Structure 1
Amino acid sequence: MIEIKEKKILIDGEPVLLMCGEVHYYRLERSDWQARIDQLKLSGCNAIATYIPWLCHQPEKDIIDITGTTQPQLDIVGFLDLCQENDLYLFVRPGPFIMAEMKNEGIPHWVYTDYPDAIPVGWDSNEVTTKTLDYLNPGFLKAAREWYSIILPPIQERLYQNGGKVIAIQLDNEVGMLSWVSNTPDLTDLVLEDFTNWTKERYGSTVNSRYPNVFSEDRDRRNELLRSPAEEIAPFLLKDLGYYMRSRFARYISILRGYCEEEGIKDIPFVVNIHGTGGGRGFTFPIGISQLFESYTQDEGYLSGSDIYFGDFNMDMFQDLYLINGFMDAMHLPDQPLTSVEFNCGDGNFGSTFGGRMDPSAADLKMRMCIAQGNRLINYYLLTGGYNYRMDQTLNDGNDRIAFTGERHGFAAPISPEGELNFTFPRMAESIHRVMAVSDKLAGMNEEKDGAAFAFIPDYYMTEYRYPKSSKMKDIIENIEQNRGGSAWEVVARAMLLHGLRFGSVDIQHKEINREIKSLIVPSAKYMHSHIQEKLVSYMNKGGNVLLYGDLPQYDFEGNPCTILAEAAGVSYKTTYRDSGDYYLSLETSNFSKRYPEVRTHIAHTVDLKKHVTPLLRTYDTKEVCGFESRVGDGKLIGILTHYSCDLTFFKEIFEKLSITPALTHDYSYHGIFTTSVANENNERFIHLMNLDGLKKNFHLFQNGQPLFEENTVSLPSRTGLMLPVEIALEKAVISYSTAEIKHREQDRVTFALHGEEQVAVFQTEHEVLCEPSGVQVKKEGRRYTIIMNKYDCRGEDVTVTFA
């Protein structure tokens, strides 16, 4: 039995971590399947994931092959059985769309020919530039249903509850991504008819004042007015089209789930994949969250899965990953855990130019952060490379292959198309084995938090459709894009994490703000819904604190004046200054505990103040206020309406003003350390540490100002992560703490990996303790054993502690 409960994935009632590797059977010779599975098991994974390409299994309407009759590698039935024989859980991804660099994104060519009205029409009735289709087109749905009737029966027979190993199924892939990246909303006649009905139902008698002379026209004229919108309706269409598409995607996902259930696929998670990372950063990832959150929260039984395509894990982007995991969690139903269904691994040489080369630490550190934040499934994508075979059909497209990457595919993967392990494999495998050694504990643990949260406003990322000729859409979207991420992530979130603050996120658009959240960080544009402004004011009136960073809200999302938040804070917008080649915009501080150095900035929004508002930042030359502190009810609002440098001392004082203090801290002087902790209901904990720099760091850890680990030093090697156990119950002992990471566990023994000059582990046990190698120092005081692991005494070997 598989359940999603209390942010855990339960199999037969026990929480599990699923560490998957993506293996594309159809890109491998059948004779290589077992070898790749052996390599996957060598990596430490306990599950295997794969796309199932419709394009390959039904290349022509009357040609169907799921047993390898036309191409041996298409025997999906045999592949599923082989994985089961190897005792691996299975996560299947049968589309209809799969992307995976496949031609037509994995859709058979004949679908486009048979159902041309499913091909979207874009702005100004232009042709689309991607291979997307209207998901709810009746012809496409008919074809997709027939595909599911072909591929789902063998999957259903191999479900976990039917004695097989299939434990999750993905519905389509990256829904809405192609429309977003091409700025081509699906504006077919069918979609616009449906949009018209949706809009009329939503706005009732006011629809004609909202869209003058649009819905009263005949169908063709109406469609023309929507595909080429006038400026007077542009702000409304921007908002309504985004809302409508969210609901349309959710309907599509619900239909696919219905197809699955009709074929007997029930009682396993249905996974919705979220897209959006780009250029090695996470700034655009929340666009996918915004597009799809209605899809995976419409009912129980869904999981959302991230696409994590970052480069190295370093000081540039570590806060991006932390934030997007938090944003996903903010949108979830209470029971839904985090998962990552495309977790990029390998060396980054996607273009076969040796560019984008990643450090071997990349997959290790990114995975550790995801696990610390509660990810219960990680799918390493792509674990194994392979080959794109030529189709039997002549495509006249230059090579007739199934994909557009040429003959070899996945040459950046840890396992090459030829089956060779590249330089990233050992570190990746080591980290997987470390996690799996304590997976039974981690699978039931959640991150501990410090009472602060980062606000998430989904509509700030509803910017995927913009009419190119609309200046109103342009103004709204550009202001939102300038303020929703960028500096707020790279300054405020980074400062929080470097101070050791562990924080979550909250959807302040749709949900109430939990009273346990003492302070809220709100990246703000000059556009903000009135109900969000009202909610923030209510939160502060009841004693909550807000850090408003970016622009001062002056309008609602449709461009109507809305200054609820500003009025409550006692400020009003004055003007905006921008840096230029001849104007060196600079800031100075006021009313802080000390004078902070004057700093340059590129933008400052200034405000007029009422008497009860305290200035914090001013422009140097005009002395106008662009940062302030204001009492709002029993709470407080601090507004930083400018880009400020990531001065950790400055932000420490800001955080203290907001009553934000970290419980878990360290005494290393030069930062570059990520810290967090996870715990379960039995008060077992792991402290997660990551060194983001290329130098070794020694330091002490503190909990609420008190030394941890009896003041023993923690040693954190260059670009390394550690999970240090605290009060972890083993079968025959309890680890009170250890400054070394667990490498391996058995019923009567535990092995620690040495990574510094000296580590210490303390146990409580009734059993006799034996250590290998024999040079390890053991101190016994009653039931307490202290193991001192000095690398010279241990001859540099790992230390195994046995309970006799």
Structure 2
Amino acid sequence: MTIEVRDGVTVIDGRPHVLVTADYPYYRDDPSVWADRLRAMRDELGIEVITSYIPWRHHQPDADTAPDFTGRTHPSRDVLGFIELCHRLGLKLVAKPGPFIHAEVTYGGLPDWVCPSTDPGIEPLLDAEGRPSTWSDGNGRPNRPLPAPLGPAFTAKVTEWLSAVGKVVLDATTHPDGPVILMQIANEGIYTNGARSLSAYDYSASGLAFFRERLRNWYGTLEEYDRVHATTSATWDDIEPPRAWEEASIPEQMLTYADWGRFHTEYTAEIYRRWADAVGCSVPVVVNLNPPTIEELDDWLVRVRPETWQHINYGFTNWMGVVSTDPDAQARYVIAAKRAPGPNLEENWGFSVLYDESYADATTSYHQTLLALAAGATGFNVYTGAGTSGWLPDLDTAHASPYPDCAPIAADGSPTEKAPVVRVLADFFALHGEEFLECAPVTGGAFGVYSPYAGIAAWAGPEREGIPQCGEALRAFHTRMRAEGVDYALVDLETATPEQLAVHPSVTVPGGPFLHRHVQDLLAGHLATGGDVVLDGPVPALDEKLRPCTVLADALRSRSSDEAAEPDGGPVRVVSGHADAFLRKHPKRDVQYLTVLVQNDNDAPVRVETPHVSVELVSARGGAAVVRLAGGKLDDFVVKGLNGFLSSAVPASITVGDAGLTADRPADLARVHGVVRQLG
């Protein structure tokens, strides 16, 4: 069996799969129930791949003792036995050794003995004001400083941990002889901080040393650095990073902020590489970035650049609000799914007490899962698949059993009302996933992310006159495109190729005083071949070294008004009801996949007009549907008719042209492989 990740898609033995997974925190349960919970997730949920963190603090609570992976100090530490159990039950596994995991585990899963307040030899992670970045465990426990990831003492300790996981746990359990098919490193950035501001870290000595080393690499000589920045520096160590926004009226001053953003790009990539290399695992490596906040969208865009990660593959999580009622949450989720191809590695299917009461019903999670897949995700995760209880006190003192409170498999092992909803989605994508991934989103354009502008805007904030924007322009572009019923793509302008740009009829680009010369060449070439470039801001007149460059300006001036390309296939319009819709089309067969996302306030039938067919559905408030259309006719589908949280219950129905199906009672309605199911 071969395992690859190609363009964000998990490929097993040459066949692409929508990666459908469920998390099970074995370390929170009594080992006597592991087998029962795994069977329940396999048989009741249709799950074939389990994900699980391997918490450092759980397996090595004492610095002077080697990690326990066999249960010699406590049965719940027998992760080797857990992995073997997965293998015997025919389940594959995504192993997640941290070193930081969050997962509501004390100190984010780090052992107490790597805390800088415990060991003064460990350098703390510092923010722009020189204050330690801290982690709160809740329940009245004081915040504790986090270790600087590049600090030498912590680097030595974390390398020992990850190397031990690699040698003792993973070497003998990876495919084809074992169940481990992927490894996830870190958590939502480094310390669940992938979406935080650029001023939040890393101003520690080790972080600043890496920053100045990168400056030397980028600029070569101090003379060139000073020329570009209009400064005078005696040594590289004289150069300070930005710590607060100061007026920057000329491009030379702006570049200081762009440099710190570029540092974050390479800093994140460096830590991912070091930690993945320390494990030395033979299977593909993924990460799980948290979606951006709207306020810190620029900070996220400049930091999250999967194109620079080499062998590290992109993935993302949820944890950002209820998308069926909050437009900002919806935008954040869509942007995370579109930033790069990759799976959703944590969708909240079990936490209502800890996050939002609406998650008590499956509909909220179901809606968000379908939105992520429609927007570009290559898989989804049920976090967590089963409720747990009985963890060791030092692992988590802030949360009560069960964890989580409303999982598809309850803490006693019984299936809840969420179980059949997960099962029908798992079955649908097990049958149609490969074809779904072959279908391309029907888009009407792309937004070009330009990292230097994001780095500047992250400090300046929105609506500053004369300051280039990126995140604000992207948010407005998202709203405009969704209002027009047109899907879109995100492209990284600094790494995009002419072939990647050519598939988009129009590319919207943030404007500003400078733009990389090769990016200007790329956009000018796109114009020359019949594409359109929409500049959201001033036309650049300089290149990245602040030398005169008007390639793009010249190309825009020479463009005729009738050269703009038309969107491929036209918009997908919701003509009645309050909903959103996305369409994917197969490049070789007459097959489309339509996803309809119904908002929480909708009480009417939803009618969607695609370029080729009209679809009408009846869904619960906050529900959603995924529909396979073959030859313009209705094929398999899933429609949500029940939402207990909103007290919304309707006989779900779907009609395409003259053909349709309706549930005979208030229920969800599905057809998979031609077999009709009513759920509820």
- TM-score normalised over the length of structure 2: 0.79
1:634 maps onto 2:559 in alignment: yes
1:309 maps onto 2:319 in alignment: yes
Aligned 8 A contact 2:21 2:380 in 1: yes
* Structure 2 residue ranges without an equivalent (≥5): 136-144, 640-649, 676-680
Distance apart, 1:6 and its partner CA: 5.6
Q: Matched residues in 1 for 2:483 and 2:230: separation?
A: 49
Residue aligning to 2:490: 505
Q: Matched residues in 1 for 2:56 and 2:465: separation?
A: 41
Distance apart, 1:271 and its partner CA: 0.8
Aligned pair in 2 of structure 1 residues 436, 128: CA closer, same or farther (>3 Å)?
closer
* Map 1:341-356 → 2, pairs under 5 A: 341-350=345-354
* Map 1:70-109 → 2, pairs under 5 A: 70-109=73-112
* Structure 1 residue ranges without an equivalent (≥5): 330-336, 392-400, 467-472, 570-630, 638-655, 728-734, 744-753, 762-785
State the identity %: 18
- Per-residue CA deviations over 1:443-462 (Å, capped at 9, x if unaligned) read 64232324421222233443
Name the aligned partner's letter for residue 47 of structure 2. C
Which of 409, 414, 419 is residue 407 of structure 2 equivalent to? 414
Q: Matched residues in 1 for 2:594 and 2:29: separation?
A: 41
Distance apart, 1:7 and its partner CA: 5.1
Name the aligned partner's letter for residue 84 of structure 1. H
1:149 maps onto 2:163 in alignment: yes
1:694 maps onto 2:602 in alignment: yes
Aligned pair in 2 of structure 1 residues 443, 216: CA closer, same or farther (>3 Å)?
same
Aligned pair in 2 of structure 1 residues 634, 142: CA closer, same or farther (>3 Å)?
same
Q: Matched residues in 1 for 2:652 and 2:391: separation?
A: 49
Aligned pair in 2 of structure 1 residues 759, 243: CA closer, same or farther (>3 Å)?
closer
Residue aligning to 1:334: none
Q: Matched residues in 2 for 1:406 and 1:369: separation?
A: 30
Distance apart, 1:46 and its partner CA: 1.7
1:738 maps onto 2:663 in alignment: no
Aligned 8 A contact 1:479 1:526 in 2: no
- Per-residue CA deviations over 1:225-267 (Å, capped at 9, x if unaligned) read 5587996997443222222332233233222332233xxx31x
Distance apart, 1:80 and its partner CA: 1.1
- TM-score normalised over the length of structure 1: 0.68
Residue aligning to 1:199: 215
Aligned pair in 2 of structure 1 residues 437, 154: CA closer, same or farther (>3 Å)?
closer
Answer with 24-33 or 237-246: which moved more.
Answer: 237-246
Residue aligning to 1:447: 440
Name the aligned partner's letter for residue 82 of structure 1. L
Aligned 8 A contact 1:374 1:446 in 2: no
Distance apart, 1:674 and its partner CA: 0.9
Name the aligned partner's letter for residue 106 of structure 2. K
- How many aligned residue pairs are there? 634
Residue aligning to 1:248: 267
Q: Matched residues in 2 for 1:496 and 1:269: separation?
A: 34
Q: Matched residues in 2 for 1:542 and 1:428: separation?
A: 47
Q: Matched residues in 2 for 1:375 and 1:526: separation?
A: 31
Distance apart, 1:679 and its partner CA: 2.2
Residue aligning to 1:436: 429
Q: Matched residues in 2 for 1:321 and 1:548: separation?
A: 25
Name the aligned partner's letter for residue 557 of structure 2. V
1:169 maps onto 2:183 in alignment: yes
Aligned 8 A contact 1:49 1:91 in 2: yes
Name the aligned partner's letter for residue 118 of structure 1. E
Residue aligning to 1:723: 626
Larger Rg, first or second structure (1 or 2)? 1
Aligned pair in 2 of structure 1 residues 757, 444: CA closer, same or farther (>3 Å)?
closer
Name the aligned partner's letter for residue 109 of structure 1. D
- Per-residue CA deviations over 1:273-300 (Å, capped at 9, x if unaligned) read 222444xxx6646744532425x64434
Aligned 8 A contact 1:666 1:701 in 2: yes
Aligned 8 A contact 1:196 1:215 in 2: no
Aligned pair in 2 of structure 1 residues 243, 108: CA closer, same or farther (>3 Å)?
same
Q: Matched residues in 2 for 1:283 and 1:227: separation?
A: 19
Distance apart, 1:365 and its partner CA: 1.9
Aligned pair in 2 of structure 1 residues 567, 366: CA closer, same or farther (>3 Å)?
same
Aligned pair in 2 of structure 1 residues 13, 146: CA closer, same or farther (>3 Å)?
same
Q: Matched residues in 1 for 2:6 and 2:670: separation?
A: 37
Q: Matched residues in 2 for 1:431 and 1:463: separation?
A: 46
Aligned 8 A contact 2:515 2:540 in 1: no
Distance apart, 1:380 and its partner CA: 2.2
Distance apart, 1:56 and its partner CA: 1.2
Aligned pair in 2 of structure 1 residues 285, 101: CA closer, same or farther (>3 Å)?
farther
Aligned 8 A contact 2:349 2:359 in 1: no
- Per-residue CA deviations over 1:7-48 (Å, capped at 9, x if unaligned) read 532212222222111111111122232333234232232211
1:45 maps onto 2:63 in alignment: no
Residue aligning to 1:653: none
Aligned pair in 2 of structure 1 residues 662, 697: CA closer, same or farther (>3 Å)?
farther
Distance apart, 1:60 and its partner CA: 1.0
Aligned 8 A contact 1:122 1:227 in 2: no
Aligned pair in 2 of structure 1 residues 215, 418: CA closer, same or farther (>3 Å)?
farther
Residue aligning to 1:118: 123
Q: Matched residues in 2 for 1:175 and 1:284: separation?
A: 14
Residue aligning to 1:606: none
* Map 1:167-566 → 2, pairs under 5 A: 167-176=181-190, 177-178=192-193, 181=196, 183-203=199-219, 204=221, 205-208=223-226, 210=229, 212=231, 214-216=233-235, 222=238, 235-261=254-280, 265-266=281-282, 268-278=283-293, 284=296, 287-293=299-305, 297-300=308-311, 302-314=312-324, 316=327, 317-326=329-338, 328-329=339-340, 337-350=341-354, 360-387=362-389, 389-390=391-392, 401-403=394-396, 405-408=398-401, 410-415=403-408, 418-419=411-412, 425-426=418-419, 428-442=421-435, 444-462=437-455, 473-474=459-460, 483-485=469-471, 489=475, 492-512=477-497, 514-522=501-509, 524=510, 529=515, 531=517, 536=523, 539-540=526-527, 543-549=530-536, 551-552=537-538
Residue aligning to 1:590: none
- Per-residue CA deviations over 1:743-801 (Å, capped at 9, x if unaligned) read 9xxxxxxxxxx96567579xxxxxxxxxxxxxxxxxxxxxxxx98757679x9997896
Aligned 8 A contact 1:518 1:545 in 2: yes
- Per-residue CA deviations over 1:396-421 (Å, capped at 9, x if unaligned) read xxxxx334634447444425884477
Aligned pair in 2 of structure 1 residues 657, 287: CA closer, same or farther (>3 Å)?
same
Distance apart, 1:737 and its partner CA: 2.7
Name the aligned partner's letter for residue 235 of structure 2. S
SS of match in other structure, 1:181: coil
Aligned pair in 2 of structure 1 residues 115, 57: CA closer, same or farther (>3 Å)?
farther
Q: Which has the higher contact order (CA 8 A, sep 6+)?
A: 2
Aligned 8 A contact 1:48 1:90 in 2: yes
Q: Matched residues in 2 for 1:313 and 1:413: separation?
A: 19
Name the aligned partner's letter for residue 366 of structure 1. Q
Aligned pair in 2 of structure 1 residues 40, 285: CA closer, same or farther (>3 Å)?
farther
Q: Matched residues in 2 for 1:304 and 1:420: separation?
A: 32
Distance apart, 1:90 and its partner CA: 0.2
1:672 maps onto 2:579 in alignment: yes
Aligned pair in 2 of structure 1 residues 428, 77: CA closer, same or farther (>3 Å)?
same
More strand by share: 1
